[in-house]
Structure 1
């Protein structure tokens, strides 16, 4: 072993191999970008009918001058005006210094830490940071608006960073609204936040393809907007003719994509509005992805009660099975313990009122163990049965902390080990069995007091009887 070297553990070697693969991919990306650049110059030469050698001579040089780079990164317009007077050109590529350090193979089993960073251009830097006047100056000095040495154009950069003025300026100077990055994304695909709405409007105004698909996933801009809960983007794309039921490579429609996205409590409302718009535009609630998950499966898994109610109102099937043999009810019960604040009891109640299959009675202690943190969910679930065989296993399934917090409710359940269900409850079960999956439609129309209707629809009472 040579001086200054050391032995890597198997785990470290695997990590280095992973980094080596990443570096190979980065190298491939640079080669691909170089080919894109050469291809662009060849096409430009053909259009301009100039000799090949002139196009080669016009290939952008690489700038490593830190003074110039600093002017771009800080948006120093005065410095840029001095550095690029009238008649000069700003058409070059920048190789930034620094960046992330990676292990690089040096041969004979030796590795070293080296900085790696993608190539960029002055347009990318200024457009991504919103330096509109600096960007304007560079464009006036002949910077190539579609140059993509790092695999993306400056237009991608401005849209991804939500810089509408820069986006509009690039488009005014001929930027390709449908340019495809090396990751297979068009500028509309990188409009992923609410602040990017104006960028999306500019792109559509300048000819962006509303149903353009990404190369890797086959997503349309509507998929991206729905997945990110961007209601204004969804409304915009639908207004301009976006295909509401186009499936991506995983079989997801925009509606599936919206329902499948994990949602925090503060996100529930905007995802609901997205689904509402998609269904209003004719989205199909029955479309399944490759794993046979329907939008209802996904909405139950992510515990969005309003979306579940919406899907059920559009005749979603509560007993569709996925490839794993699970119905929407399985999906909601598996996550109740993690989403108590999302009101999972509303979903369980809605599914049962629409005729969902029930849990096998022998599995109720397991359900009780995982869902006991949501007493209302347990109440709704157990009130779907006319008889319950309460045993010591039930008592052991509820933790001491939960029992202490909801003592009255769980004691009412455990007391059923010695007592039958009430006659009132048995009458409710008999009527619900007779109505089967029509409970949600028939009960509201019955000539009964409201409190009786609510009781038949499994309203929460906070105790079992």
Structure 2
């Protein structure tokens, strides 16, 4: 009798193992079907009443090796793990984020919960973050909340941070997304987000829908401040310039300062965007405003010249001087030369704002030999001024600029001067000193 009982127990145990293995196999097939958008496999499994619960199953993907080795843990309708940091997702999130519209449609038709957010994001957040407009539209049609908040306090419009997410943003607004909704953590509006990421299409769309132009977030930034303060590489300068032009044209306050009393002009100089600096100055940005650190816009551009030579920092220095910027204390010019020497044009335009230069051996030592060799003609002309006074032409320019300081930008164009003379007065680049 003993052996029979033992045998029966073994048999029952073996059948449980087989059943568990089969279930694991179906779950893995379902998982793989979701990952590749195989709607036929997905349908065939979830249409089986035994596996219908998988529609809203919650998966922990923090250790993907567990999936590969068929090790699953069950708790009710959930697949869970005891790992400390979980990465929870659902079939709806997987298909929405990967753009598998047909799979997503079948899940929704079978009653998948559209606003489920086990990992913090809803499937709609996922679709918008991954720039999947058709999936976003489908979710919205099935009742997804266009203003749902994720664990970071962001609504779907706040996660539209890529150029390709524009269609997602359009769908969200069409389904009732609040144009001036503010994120819980930073109090950013969608316009702050679009401006910060340099998204001209989004900015235009939001302005058309009545976005607030001068609303400040927790750091005191308006959307214009946000655009100007974002680090920009050469490839994105034009995008940010377009964004700023749109904001200013719509009435953005160019004088608005953040919590550190930095204005858009401070920030545009720090990120060396010459077109934006020109725009702000033309709209009466204060050229000598000091932030809480005591820095004016001129200080900000001179600090970054060495790292932003491809951004044409000389144009910014030129524009600031022509709008009446303070100049560097003459005793600090050798230091400026040391840190800005890789941009000879910046040195040229800045040093041409003085009537005389007291050049010493320290100036020569401030320029590394390799930089001197690369720009030999310019630096030879600069150092030659140690024995030669500035030209009479330059002295006349300096006297006129001093007389018209702060008014050059609007007086000179009205004088009817020849182009070459007008350019000379406005510190046009000659690539040598005289």
Q: 1:459 aligns with which of 425, 428, 432?
A: 428
Contact between 1:444 and 1:453, CA under 8 Å: does it hold in 2? yes
Q: 1:143 aligns to what SS in structure 2?
A: coil
Deviation at 1:231, TM superposition (A): 0.2
TM-score (norm 1): 0.82
Deviation at 1:367, TM superposition (A): 0.3
Deviations 1:300-338 (A, max 9, x none): 111111000000111001100001100000000011111
Deviation at 1:91, TM superposition (A): 2.8
* Mapping 1:17-32, distance limit 5 Å: none
Change (3 A) 1:66 1:116: farther
State the alpha-carbon separation in 1 of the partners of residues 276 and 119 from structure 2.
Answer: 41
After TM superposition, where is structure 1 displaced by more than 6 Å over at least 4 residues in a row?
none
Contact between 1:99 and 1:116, CA under 8 Å: does it hold in 2? no
Q: Find out whether 1:83 has 2:45 as its counterpart.
A: yes
State the alpha-carbon separation in 1 of the partners of residues 216 and 421 from structure 2.
Answer: 44
State the alpha-carbon separation in 2 of the partners of residues 182 and 78 from structure 1.
Answer: 33
State the alpha-carbon separation in 2 of the partners of residues 64 and 323 from structure 1.
Answer: 63
Q: 2:35 aligns with which of 53, 63, 73?
A: 73
Q: 2:254 aligns with which of 280, 285, 289?
A: 285
Q: Which residue of 2 aligns with 1:155?
A: 124
Deviations 1:156-189 (A, max 9, x none): 0000001111100000000000000011000000
Q: Which residue of 1 aligns with 2:299?
A: 330
Computed over aligned residues only, the root mean square deviation of the Cα atoms, in angstroms, reads 1.9
Q: 2:403 aligns to what SS in structure 1?
A: helix
State the alpha-carbon separation in 1 of the partners of residues 189 and 121 from structure 2.
Answer: 18
Contact between 2:29 and 2:41, CA under 8 Å: does it hold in 1? no
Q: Which residue of 1 aligns with 2:228?
A: 259
State the alpha-carbon separation in 2 of the partners of residues 86 and 252 from structure 1.
Answer: 54
State the alpha-carbon separation in 2 of the partners of residues 65 and 84 from structure 1.
Answer: 10
Q: Which residue of 1 aligns with 2:203?
A: 234
Q: Find out whether 1:355 has 2:324 as its counterpart.
A: yes
Structure 1 residue runs of 5 or longer lacking an equivalent are 1-62, 102-112
Q: 2:170 aligns with which of 194, 198, 201?
A: 201
Deviations 1:363-406 (A, max 9, x none): 00000001111111101000000011110110100110111111
Q: Find out whether 1:307 has 2:272 as its counterpart.
A: no
Change (3 A) 1:74 1:97: farther
Deviation at 1:117, TM superposition (A): 3.2
Deviation at 1:99, TM superposition (A): 4.6
Deviation at 1:94, TM superposition (A): 2.2
State the alpha-carbon separation in 2 of the partners of residues 377 and 238 from structure 1.
Answer: 37
State the alpha-carbon separation in 2 of the partners of residues 65 and 116 from structure 1.
Answer: 22
Contact between 2:317 and 2:349, CA under 8 Å: does it hold in 1? yes
State the alpha-carbon separation in 1 of the partners of residues 65 and 164 from structure 2.
Answer: 28
Q: Find out whether 1:274 has 2:236 as its counterpart.
A: no
State the alpha-carbon separation in 1 of the partners of residues 134 and 140 from structure 2.
Answer: 10
Structure 2 residue runs of 5 or longer lacking an equivalent are 1-24, 67-81
State the alpha-carbon separation in 2 of the partners of residues 293 and 100 from structure 1.
Answer: 49
Number of aligned residue pairs: 393
Deviation at 1:299, TM superposition (A): 0.5
State the alpha-carbon separation in 2 of the partners of residues 132 and 258 from structure 1.
Answer: 34
Deviation at 1:66, TM superposition (A): 2.3
TM-score (norm 2): 0.88
Q: Find out whether 1:447 has 2:412 as its counterpart.
A: no
Contact between 1:99 and 1:115, CA under 8 Å: does it hold in 2? no
Deviations 1:431-462 (A, max 9, x none): 11111100111111113211111110001111
Contact between 1:145 and 1:175, CA under 8 Å: does it hold in 2? yes
Q: 1:436 aligns to what SS in structure 2?
A: coil
Contact between 2:62 and 2:87, CA under 8 Å: does it hold in 1? no
Q: Find out whether 1:421 has 2:390 as its counterpart.
A: yes
State the alpha-carbon separation in 2 of the partners of residues 278 and 79 from structure 1.
Answer: 49
Deviation at 1:95, TM superposition (A): 2.7
State the alpha-carbon separation in 2 of the partners of residues 150 and 114 from structure 1.
Answer: 14
State the alpha-carbon separation in 2 of the partners of residues 251 and 100 from structure 1.
Answer: 45
State the alpha-carbon separation in 2 of the partners of residues 285 and 97 from structure 1.
Answer: 46
Q: Which residue of 2 aligns with 1:382?
A: 351
Judge which range, 209-218 or 73-82, deviates more: 73-82
State the alpha-carbon separation in 1 of the partners of residues 38 and 91 from structure 2.
Answer: 12
Change (3 A) 1:100 1:433: farther
Judge which range, 185-194 or 438-447, deviates more: 438-447
Q: 2:58 aligns to what SS in structure 1?
A: strand
Deviation at 1:76, TM superposition (A): 1.2
State the alpha-carbon separation in 2 of the partners of residues 118 and 95 from structure 1.
Answer: 5
